[in-house]
């Protein structure tokens, strides 16, 4: 078990370093922030002074070393526009994004998993065909369109839910459902496929031949082997949502970290962008690490390296 954990930790650190290095190179190749920051009336000498004050006049390799040192010390510089430390500014937005993503995943799992189980237990039935049709619909509706429709129905017409901002759980219901709608359809199809494959295995037929109840057969003998792909997908979807809620945060005017990162990207605010990449990459690495640990708990063969 110790070697299993050590290998995962080393791989996670290498992945984090590679992502940060790649993004550092790409954003420095994307444009000159001085051209965005400096007013048009600034002369060349004033622009050079501004670049020196921000450390953008240094060689790229020196900037990279300073960036890595900042990562190790938790200091990624000051935002070019707000003149505040970039990493704390971004971290202050993370709870909003986490609450939104967590609620969306919970909704998707609580609805999608039971629907997938119901479809797998009656393959080819009317209910199965109806659920598959609904899953196709859920995968086809664009997120931005669904969000606008929900605002129109529940805020403009009925005034049941707030259309924007934060303050209570009511502010997160519509944006969370907007994100969860596609995942409900996805989880339904995934659970149905994995459970159908598991139900066809000999050990399930043996369990039924022993006279076990259908609930025990499905939940204990069939669903657990089917859980490995589900754990993988749940982890990937959480990571994808954590770094991919920018449209939803913009539509519902949520002060999340993805909305801040989008604004920083338009402004070429390097410290905010790099802080965002650090937080998002760390979250992805943490999710993958937790997924690997879950594999070891579900399947001992993974834990022992078999």
Q: How far apart are CA 163 and CA 159, in angstroms?
A: 9
The packing angle between helices 227-242 and 170-199, to 10°, is 150
Q: How far apart are CA 35 and CA 47, in angstroms?
A: 9
What is the predicted pLDDT for the residue at 104? 92
3-class SS of residue 17:
helix
Q: Any idea where the domains of the chain sit in the sequence?
A: 1-92+264-306, 94-255
Q: Name every residue whose Cβ is closer than 8 Å to that of residue 87 and which is 6 or more positions away in sequence.
A: 74, 75, 76, 271, 275, 278, 279
Q: How far apart are CA 91 and CA 188, in angstroms?
A: 33
Kindly report the backbone phi and psi dihedral angles of residue 85, in degrees, each rounded to the nearest multiple of 5, phi listed first.
Answer: -55, 130
**Tokens 């669904």 sit on residue:** 146
Partnered with residue 85 across adjacent β-strands are 78
What is the predicted pLDDT for the residue at 175? 92
| Nearest C-alpha neighbor of 177 from the set 206, 205, 151 | 151
Structure tokens at 150: 């929900």
Q: How far apart are CA 239 and CA 102, in angstroms?
A: 11
Structure tokens at 16: 């984090």
Structure tokens at 170: 């009511």
CATH topology of domain 94-255: MetI-like fold (1.10.3720)
Q: Name every residue whose Cβ is closer than 8 Å to that of residue 104 and which is 6 or more positions away in sequence.
A: 175, 176, 177, 179, 180, 183, 241
| Nearest C-alpha neighbor of 187 from the set 221, 230, 141, 223 | 230
What is the predicted pLDDT for the residue at 230? 79
Are 34 and 51 spatial neighbours (Cβ–Cβ below 8 Å)? yes
Residue 195 to residues 34, 217, 218, 281, Cα–Cα distance (Å)? 56, 11, 8, 32
**Whole-model pTM?**
0.79
Q: Where do the H-state alpha helices sit in 59-164?
A: 60-73, 86-91, 94-121, 126-140, 143-151
What is the predicted pLDDT for the residue at 4? 64
Q: What is the mean pLDDT of each run of 10 residues along the chain (306 residues)?
A: 71 83 80 68 73 76 85 82 86 91 90 84 77 75 86 89 84 91 85 81 77 74 74 81 86 90 84 88 83 69 53
Structure tokens at 256: 């999340």
3-class SS of residue 78:
strand
């Amino acid at each position: 078990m110790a070697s299993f954990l050590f290998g995962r930790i080393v791989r996670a650190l290498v992945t984090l370093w590679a992502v940060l290095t790649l993004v550092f190179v790409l954003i420095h190749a994307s444009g000159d922030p001085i051209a965005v920051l400096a007013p048009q009336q600034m002369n060349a000498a004033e622009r050079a002074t501004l670049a020196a004050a921000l450390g953008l006049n240094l060689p790229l390799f020196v900037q990279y070393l300073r960036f890595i040192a900042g990562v190790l010390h938790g200091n990624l510089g000051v935002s070019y526009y707000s003149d505040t430390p970039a990493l704390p500014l971004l971290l202050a937005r993370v709870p909003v994004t986490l609450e939104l993503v967590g609620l969306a995943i919970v909704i998707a799992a609580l609805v999608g998993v039971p629907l997938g189980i119901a479809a797998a237990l009656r393959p080819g039935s009317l209910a199965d065909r109806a659920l598959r049709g609904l899953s196709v619909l859920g995968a086809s509706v664009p997120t931005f369109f669904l969000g606008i429709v929900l605002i129109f129905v529940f805020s403009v017409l009925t005034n049941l839910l707030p259309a924007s901002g934060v303050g209570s759980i009511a502010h997160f219901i519509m944006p969370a459902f907007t994100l969860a709608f596609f995942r409900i359809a996805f989880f339904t199809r995934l659970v149905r496929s994995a459970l159908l494959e598991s139900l066809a295995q000999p050990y399930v037929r043996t369990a039924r031949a022993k006279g076990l109840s259908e609930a025990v057969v499905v939940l204990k003998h069939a669903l657990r082997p089917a859980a490995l792909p589900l754990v993988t997908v749940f982890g990937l979807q959480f990571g994808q949502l954590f770094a991919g809620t920018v449209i939803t945060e913009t539509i519902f005017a949520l002060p999340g970290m993805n909305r801040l990162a989008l604004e920083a990207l338009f402004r070429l605010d390097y410290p905010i962008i790099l802080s965002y990449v650090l937080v998002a990459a760390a979250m992805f690495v943490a999710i993958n690490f937790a997924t690997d640990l879950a594999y070891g708990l579900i399947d001992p063969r993974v834990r022992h390296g078999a």
